[in-house]
Structure 1
Amino acid sequence: MTTTAPTPATGATAEEFGERLFTAVLGTQLVQAAYLGDRLGFYRALAGEALTAAELAVRTGTAERYAREWLEHQAVCGVLTVDDDAAPADARRFRLPAGHAEVLTDVLSPNHVLPLARMAAGIGRHVDELAGAYRTGGGVSWADFGADARESQAAANRPLFLGALPRDYLPSVPDIDAVLRRGGRVADVGCGFGWSAIGLALAHPDVTVDGFDPDGPSIEAARRNAAEAGVGDRVRFRTTDAALAEGGYDLVAAFECIHDMPDPVSVLAAMRTMAGADGVVLVVDERVAEHFTAPGDEVEQLMYGWSITCCLPDGLAHPGSVGTGTVMRPDTLRGYARAAGFAGVDVLPIEDGFFRFYRLR
């Protein structure tokens, strides 16, 4: 992903900004179509085989007329190719190019961006609730956002959590590598669907991992995922607040979740207790800019976009929330860590386009 910033608003003419917004509308329509293609199984059916509208409809249990319009839209937008665009409508065969198929159907590829489209479109279904929260200062909880947010968040992180995170990133930190090599006890706070815990267990066969998350459906999914991955004997999941967990862990980690928590200080304090005097405490969160600057690059825009539609409303759905939002800058985390009793926070030299790695001392 590039990290270019847009032209400042003061430097754009009405025509230029109108063109930018029009382009965004086209992108929104593409995201909505991708959401439908994912939910209805269109992309999976097209992967590796050219189909007519009638064939696609039969394979996915959908109406042919809708399937044809969706196929034509995707071809017009350059997502699909057509064997013969001059053929009669019912004879046109549509193909999904291999590169596009990786982005849309390969759930383990680092290029699998489709879950972000699902999340954006799924959150859009709650725009009335969001508008109400903006007016009252209330929130829209993770439970209210439902399966679209829950499943797309897990799917978006799955390639990293099963790939570079356990294999490359964490072993590059000597203290963490030592824990993984000797088969230490790991606590995964805010584990979601469990992919981070499962990834650690798969990459390091001697470790045991306990995952904690307050969301019941996520814990149920995590248990299924661990069983299917064959690590259910070493990876356990519990629907509980991390503050209720026992100590004695060699590594206590929170992967992309501290910014969502209504009371991050108490969670960090619990993590400190869980790690004791000798354990490592790791926080992985969004790689936002260190200071607010406008306009921001594309990562900054993306994180603010998630914050105004999902993370901040979820945080503010809980009484007494600090309302962090997605854009948790390093100094904000340092403040939370000091309040939780930590001596300091080190930014680890792990380069990732979206995440920053913190060691809490």
Structure 2
Amino acid sequence: MTITDTSPTTTAEEFGERIFDAVLGAQLVQAAYLGDRLGYYRVLAAEPSTPPELAARTGTAERYAREWLEHQAVAGVLTVDDPAAAPAERRFRLPAGHAEVLTDVLSPNHVLPLARFVGGAGLHLDALVGAYRSGGGVSWSQLGADVREGQGAANRPLFLGALPREYLPSIPEIRAVLERGGRVADVGCGYGWSSIGIALAHPGVTVDGYDVDGPSIDVARQNAVEAGVSDRVRFHCADAATAEGRFDLVAAFECVHDMSDPVPVLATMRRIAAPDGVVLVVDERVAETFTAPGDEVEQLMYGWSITCCLPDGLAHPGSVGTGTVMRPDTLRRYARDAGFADIEVLPVDDMFFRFYRLG
């Protein structure tokens, strides 16, 4: 992580260069969004293509395919065999390392979904301008499939990989639950990858996932079937307050900051946890206090907040308006209001997420 110089002492020329670089980056994100949606990257990962071949294989117009390919080559994403060849005969290749980032959905380096997320949120800038003026919001359902799918895909590598296989077993109390085949509640489960990842990594465990977003639950159920764990993972389009019985582990993965009123949800998590159960919150690893300038993670989280998480939270009446940047003291206050004595920051080392035990 680095700290970007955003101090007022930066000269006009230096700051102008920074904005110009950002414009180039924004154009690259837009191109990546197109490459994702149109299937260009998946085709190029399988085999090099000329513009006519790429257009034919993806059902798109050749002239657009050619311009996109040339942009990607100029931007250093693709290589081209013979730049001097006739435009229709130039063959473009996707290097293996780039292909992993752009097409390997299980790789920790697969950051293409972030471009899908940013591109999707950008479709709603007019609505966001209105929300900023009125104090209202732009809800998760309004933001639509691009943002929903981008979020799910961005978390998938972690939720199927390090989270259930390294991070959770590193916490002794949770490792004991997983080893004895305990019962887990996944609050705010989204596309269900956290629930599915836990079930895949720990065959004795049963998981109940809860989310109030119907389209997300529909996808989660299909994902569980395809992963072969639908017999041990059940998804409910409902508030976790409807949960029956007690759970050995009650977890909320990267969702508390999105809740318009997190205190009742945390109180529910406390209520449905078994007497010796563990209540876990995993949320953004932002700085403990506000400082400026901030590192790249802090900048990223504020970027999500101003375009998605805060507008979604404020779309609901009576929202506390947390936003993405939920610092430990904020969660501590919510937890105490929900009846917990305190929170404990657990020693899990991840660049983007902080692990809290509530007790």
Using structure 1 for the length normalisation, give the TM-score. 0.99
8 A contact 1:247–1:273 mirrored in 2: no
Matching residue within 341, 347, 356 for 2:345: 347
2:272 paired with 1:284 = no
* Post-superposition offset of 1:253: 0.1
Match of 2:191 in 1: 193
Matching residue within 230, 233, 257 for 2:231: 233
Code of the residue aligned with 2:127 in structure 1: it is E
* Post-superposition offset of 1:49: 1.4
Code of the residue aligned with 1:221 in structure 2: it is V
2:163 paired with 1:165 = yes
Tell me how far apart the structure 1 counterparts of residues 197 and 350 of structure 2 sit (CA, whole Å): 17
Identity rate of aligned residues, in percent?
77
2:208 aligned counterpart, secondary structure: strand
1:246-257 matched pairs, under 5 angstroms? 246-257=244-255
* Post-superposition offset of 1:131: 0.3
* Post-superposition offset of 1:155: 0.1
Tell me how far apart the structure 1 counterparts of residues 134 and 275 of structure 2 sit (CA, whole Å): 44
Matching residue within 137, 141, 144 for 2:142: 144
Tell me how far apart the structure 1 counterparts of residues 284 and 244 of structure 2 sit (CA, whole Å): 28
Residues 145-178 of structure 1, C-alpha deviation per residue, up to 9 Å, x if partnerless? 0100110100000000000000000000000000
Match of 2:203 in 1: 205
Match of 2:51 in 1: 53
1:1-361 matched pairs, under 5 angstroms? 3-361=1-359
Tell me how far apart the structure 2 counterparts of residues 105 and 250 of structure 1 sit (CA, whole Å): 36
1:253 aligned counterpart, secondary structure: strand
Residues 61-86 of structure 1, C-alpha deviation per residue, up to 9 Å, x if partnerless? 00000000000000000000000111
Tell me how far apart the structure 2 counterparts of residues 174 and 246 of structure 1 sit (CA, whole Å): 26
8 A contact 1:48–1:98 mirrored in 2: no
Using structure 2 for the length normalisation, give the TM-score. 0.99
Tell me how far apart the structure 2 counterparts of residues 189 and 19 of structure 1 sit (CA, whole Å): 44
* Post-superposition offset of 1:201: 0.3
How many residues are paired up? 359
Residues 308-344 of structure 1, C-alpha deviation per residue, up to 9 Å, x if partnerless? 0000000000000000000000000000000000011
8 A contact 1:188–1:252 mirrored in 2: yes
* Post-superposition offset of 1:246: 2.2
Runs of 4+ in 1 over 3 A off after TM superposition: none
Code of the residue aligned with 1:190 in structure 2: it is G
Code of the residue aligned with 1:269 in structure 2: it is A
Unpaired runs of at least 5, structure 2: none
